[in-house]
Amino acid sequence: MRINTLLIAAVTAAASLTALPGCAVSRDQSTVGEYIDDATITTKVKAKFVEDKTVDASAISVETLNGEVILSGFAKSSAEKARAQEIARQVKGVRSVKNALEVRG
C-alpha cells in the first residue's frame, strides 16, 4: 500500500513538472503575466483609437508582443497613420511601435 502511494505521488509530481512549463504562453512569451500585460496594452491602444475621432479604429488592427505594438490595416492619410502611431506610443507599457499601416485614400 505504501509503495502505491509513493508511486502515485512520484507520477503526480513528474506530471506536474511536465505540465507547468506548458502554462507558458506561446508567441515567444515566457509567462502568462507577460501575455496578460500585452493583452492589456492592446486593449488600451484600441480604446484610445475609439476615443480619438481622427483615427478609424475599425480599420486598424493592433497586436502586442513583449511590449511591442504592431499596427496593421489601413489609414485614410499619412496624418492618420502618424496619429495612430503617436496614440499607441503614449500607452503605458508600450516599448516600441511597428507601424505597418497602409495609406489608402
Looking at domain 24-103, its CATH class is alpha beta
| pLDDT tens-digit readout, 3-62 | 556 546 555 555 554 444 444 445 555 688 878 899 999 999 999 999 999 999 999 999
Query: Which is it for the CA torsion 53, 54, 55, 56, positive or negative?
Result: positive
Say if residue 74's pLDDT is above 60. yes
CA torsion angle 76 79 81 83 (round to 10): -130
pLDDT at 41: 96
